[in-house]
Homo-oligomer: A and B are copies of this chain.
Amino acid sequence: MPPRSPLAPADFPALPVIGGARFAIAEAGVRYKGRPDVMLALLDPGSVVAGVFTRSATRSANVLDCQSKIGADSAEGAAIIVNSGNSNAFTGKAGEGSVAAICQAVAAQTGLPASRVFTSSTGVIGERLPHDRITAKLDELHGALSPDGMAEAARAIMTTDTFPKAATAEIDVDGKPVRIAGIAKGSGMIAPDMATMLVYIFTDARIPRAELQALVSELNAKTFNNITVDSDTSTSDTLLMAATGASGVDVTWNADFTQALYNVMLNLAHQVVRDGEGATKFVTVHVSGAASDADARTHALAIANSPLVKTALAGEDPNWGRIVMAVGKSGAAADRDKLSIRFGETLVASEGWVAESYREEDGATYFKGQEIDINVDIGLGAGQATVWTCDLTHGYIQINADYRS
């Protein structure tokens, strides 16, 4: 196990009970030994479920199964079951069989229809999922379900993560509390779309399924879809969100709820970057002045994914020439002489050259920090975008040149 990321948050948050949602974990031994590797979440009748998924053309059997189920309304509750250690991706017909077997077993255990069972698998690609090890634990899992189990669930879904990830928020609507809590895992193979890898968010709010789906899709585009660790997109990326309605508070079109959910999603997305494999810097790339928001995002991702920019960050070298290079190669509109670059607040380059006021020592000092803001103004229009990433270090090579051995 690599050591805990230096960018990890100081503490794991205290997670509230979400009425209508219960959690359990088990050690199924899918791949890892001596640690939990399966989590089950059971949602009471009346819960609605929304989701967003990877758009990879080689996505896993689990993702395809979730996508086939996610748009349906139901009053019957739902279950989410997740294993770590094996992604069940590129496992052919056997992979589809594993998903069906798990769904049927969970349905039999819980009394839910199989159409209300959502599965995720995360870990190595291309090895058959020993799903019987998971189904053998269902009785134990079902018996252990608890409203307090979400924190443990955050550990059970980890793969190369060096810390469990959770975030929470509470709002007040006419004197009544509404709670949101979510967990995530992800560390490598992180890139849009979408860069989660796995995220599960729960709220006791009441909201119609279609409105929840619209909200999650919109906020996903502003959070998980704007993080990148290594430009590699997972075959398993899944975000599921369940609203149990247990608070009795309807949050449809409630701006406070939207903001609170955005905060939870952004917090989780940032934690995934903070656990980027080998990461030592948390980097915010903000591009403004592009011809369009889409162009701004193209530039920002080109900067964030550039190995030369990422290694300059690792080396604490304020090599702004590499940022110019990345903007130039992105394919989006740019004009060398209208570009300006700032490190934090410090103007580094403008009008096609280094700024007269810029002193290399200031850049070098800034790059020694753990949190780096790269601000680029393209000087052409009003388009903007923000992308979050990390540096590319020896740690990334170590983790990934050895991963499966």
Contact = CB atoms under 8 A, between A and B. Distances in A.
Interface in A367-394: 392-394
B349 A90 contact: yes
Contact of A58 (B315, B319, B328, B402): B328
Nearest to A313: B401
A307 B188 CA distance: 10
A168 interface: no
Given A57-B327, A125-B325, A232-B308, 14 more contacts: A57-B333, A58-B328, A89-B324, A91-B352, A92-B337, A230-B307, A232-B307, A235-B328, A307-B307, A307-B400, A314-B401, A315-B403, A392-B397, A394-B397
Interface string A323-361: 011111110011111010000000001011110000000
Contacts of A95: 352-353
A386 B57 CA distance: 21
28 contacts: A54-B328, A56-B328, A57-B329, A57-B333, A57-B336, A58-B336, A59-B328, A87-B321, A89-B324, A90-B321, A90-B324, A90-B349, A91-B352, A92-B352, A92-B353, A126-B324, A189-B325, A230-B308, A231-B305, A232-B307, A232-B322, A232-B326, A232-B329, A233-B328, A307-B396, A312-B400, A315-B400, A394-B394
A150 interface: no
Interface in A175-232: 188-189, 191, 230-232
B401 A317 contact: yes
A234 interface: yes
> For the complex formed by this chain, how many copies does it contain in all?
2
Interface centre among A349, A354, A401 (most CB of B within 10 A): A401
A232 B306 contact: yes
Interface string A104-145: 000000000000000000001111000000000000000000
Contact of A317 (B91, B354, B392, B403): B403
Nearest to A395: B397
A204 B249 CA distance: 83
A93 interface: yes
Contacts of A349: 90, 126
A404 B325 contact: no
Contacts of A59: 328, 336
A405 interface: yes
A311 B89 contact: no
A320 interface: yes
